[in-house]
Each structure stands twice: as C-alpha cells, then as structure tokens.
Amino acid sequence: GAAKLLSWVYARMDKMNAASALLVFVL
C-alpha cells in the first residue's frame, strides 16, 4: 500500500503528489 504509493511518487518526482502522498501516509 504505502510502499507502492511512495514508489509511484518517487517515479513521478512530482512535489504536489509527494506532499499529498505524505499527507495520506501521515493521516
């Protein structure tokens, strides 16, 4: 779940997506 999401974010290298992913991960 989280690992796949983070992998996707790293692949995208998109700051907005990274922020959203971190927010979701924290929440």
Domain extents for the chain? 1-27
Q: Residues 3-24: pLDDT tens digits?
A: 888 888 777 766 776 788 788 8
Using CA atoms, how far residue 19 sits from 2, 9, 24, in Å, is 14, 9, 9
**13-15-1 Cα angle (round to 5):** 70
24: which 2 tokens? 């979701």
Question: What pLDDT is recorded for position 14?
Answer: 63
18: which 2 tokens? 């990274």
Positive/negative CA dihedral, 7, 8, 12, 14 = negative
Question: What pLDDT is recorded for position 11?
Answer: 75
Helix 15-26 and helix 2-12: axis angle, to 10°?
Answer: 160
